[in-house]
Amino acid sequence: MKTRLTEMLGIQHPIVLSGMSWISVPKMVAAVSNAGGLGILATGPLDADQTRKAIREIKSLTDKPFGTNATLLFPGASENAQVALDEKVPVINFSLGKGDWIVNAAHQYGGKVIATVVNHKHAKRAQDYGCDGLLVTGHEAAAHGGDATTFCLIPAIASAVNIPIIAAGGIADGRGLAAALALGADGAAMGTRLMTTQESPLHDTYKNLSIEKDIYDTVYSTRFDGLGCRVLNTKAAKRAIREGLNIKKMFQALTNSKDIAQQLHLPYFKLFIGVLASGWKNAMQLAYMANAFKAIRVATEFGDLTTGVLPVGQSTGLIKDNPTVAEVIERTVREAEEISLNLAKKAKPEKAQASKSEKPKAKPRAKTTKKSSAPAEA
């Protein structure tokens, strides 16, 4: 299946693995790229050295195009993006920050840059400073979807920009891919669907939950990680949202931020002072993030149902099995192609009928009169 996205990135299928922390690891990224899609490495939990090692591992597992992401709001994200540039990663995806410097550096070696956006303002700005594509995230998506739903957001932004669009949010099969293409997208990101596959490192407890849950079994709130975030509806998730960032949670954030600093090999004192210096609002946001990181990690890696919280999209209700990555991608593309063909077939009789009704009618034959035998008047 060819689209502007496949031609721009040199991939076979217009399907992208979202960069999900502790899930979009090198083996998972390579599995998606080897299956013809675009795998994106999640660098949020990694420091610069770990990011470099992960990129080189991906290169050893696939010769296909792949990407890395950088959530610029997070500590260490700029350093990770610089590593990706140094390693000449084919595609860099950034979010929650201005990435014009990434665009300029990536274009020097022929790399492509895709900005994650949730509204017109950010979409136009990203196009203006040279981004090659957009990952447009609707309200149905896991984690940080926008206020508008995919079916409204994608056509609206497609009318406002002229660069390729990857639709994210609510897409888990060929019907979703076909719909995204019809709305004006050039491809689809499938995070929730691909996290429940055999190659995914997601703990089996949450894979089974993702299969069991319905489309209604997610919750969306700003009280989990400080941003509008969609997660799987569990007792732990509801408790985390109910508590928000109370006094107890603020003390927990201090402990969890120490773990993050250690994980990213950042001096804690430097991190702490930097957070305070960034302003109270940003400090509160990072405190939320510190607690959320811990909850997501224990859910993903250990299957913890007591304190773990897993970001998933509403499309979790469309997941009924745990296949391989290749099976998901092949099935999705096949379904989308069949849907497109069936729609074309349905349209043909109407077109033929219209053509028939528009066929010009034969002109009526001219009447003839008998010649009179009476003599002409003198």
Instruction: Indicate which CATH number applies to the domain containing 183.
Output: 3.20.20.70
* Same domain (yes/no): 306, 326: no
Is residue 95 helix, strand or coil?
strand
CB neighbour list of residue 104: distance below 8 Å, 6 or more residues apart: 130
Q: Compute the distance between CA of residue 69 and CA of residue 74 in angstroms, rounded to an integer.
A: 12
Residue 376 lies in a domain: no
* Same domain (yes/no): 125, 265: no
* Same domain (yes/no): 43, 164: yes
* Same domain (yes/no): 263, 186: no
* Same domain (yes/no): 42, 163: yes
Q: Which residue range is the domain that position 84 belongs to? A: 4-202+319-338
Residue 366 lies in a domain: no
pLDDT digits (tens, 9 = 90+) for 68-112: 999 998 878 999 999 999 999 999 999 988 999 999 999 999 999
* Same domain (yes/no): 48, 16: yes
Asked if residue 73 lies in contact with residue 97, where contact means CB atoms within 8 angstroms, the answer is yes
**Domain limit, last residue, from 260, 276, 311:** 311
Asked if residue 41 lies in contact with residue 68, where contact means CB atoms within 8 angstroms, the answer is yes
Is residue 309 helix, strand or coil?
coil
* Same domain (yes/no): 224, 79: no
* Same domain (yes/no): 113, 159: yes
* Same domain (yes/no): 154, 259: no
Q: Compute the distance between CA of residue 341 and CA of residue 339 in angstroms, rounded to an integer.
A: 5
* Same domain (yes/no): 61, 198: yes
**Domain limit, last residue, from 258, 276, 311:** 311
CB neighbour list of residue 189: distance below 8 Å, 6 or more residues apart: 15, 16, 17, 18, 135, 166, 167, 168, 171
Q: Are strands 91-95 and 112-117 parallel, antiparallel or unpaired?
A: parallel
Residue 163 lies in a domain: yes
Between CA 263 and CA 58, with CA 291 as vertex, the angle to 5 degrees is 40
Q: Compute the distance between CA of residue 81 and CA of residue 88 in angstroms, rounded to an integer.
A: 10
Q: Compute the distance between CA of residue 331 and CA of residue 168 in angstroms, rounded to an integer.
A: 18
Closest CA to 193 of 294, 61, 327: 327
pLDDT digits (tens, 9 = 90+) for 198-248: 999 999 999 999 999 999 999 999 999 888 999 999 999 999 999 988 777
pLDDT digits (tens, 9 = 90+) for 112-126: 999 999 999 999 999
Q: What token pair was written down for 249? A: 């949670």
Residue 67 lies in a domain: yes
The number of folded domains in the chain is: 2
Q: Compute the distance between CA of residue 59 and CA of residue 72 in angstroms, rounded to an integer.
A: 24
Asked if residue 178 lies in contact with residue 336, where contact means CB atoms within 8 angstroms, the answer is yes
DSSP-assigned letters across all residues of 123-146: HHHHHHTT-SEEEEE-TTSSBS--
Residue 305 lies in a domain: yes
Residue 325's alpha-carbon distances to 35, 203, 269, in angstroms, are 7, 16, 42
Residue 123 lies in a domain: yes
Is residue 376 helix, strand or coil?
coil
* Same domain (yes/no): 38, 183: yes
Q: What token pair was written down for 234? A: 């569990």
Mean pLDDT along residues 152-181 = 97
Q: Compute the distance between CA of residue 241 and CA of residue 238 in angstroms, rounded to an integer.
A: 5
pLDDT at 266: 56
Say what the pTM is. Answer: 0.86
* Same domain (yes/no): 306, 331: no
Asked if residue 196 lies in contact with residue 202, where contact means CB atoms within 8 angstroms, the answer is yes
pLDDT at 287: 78
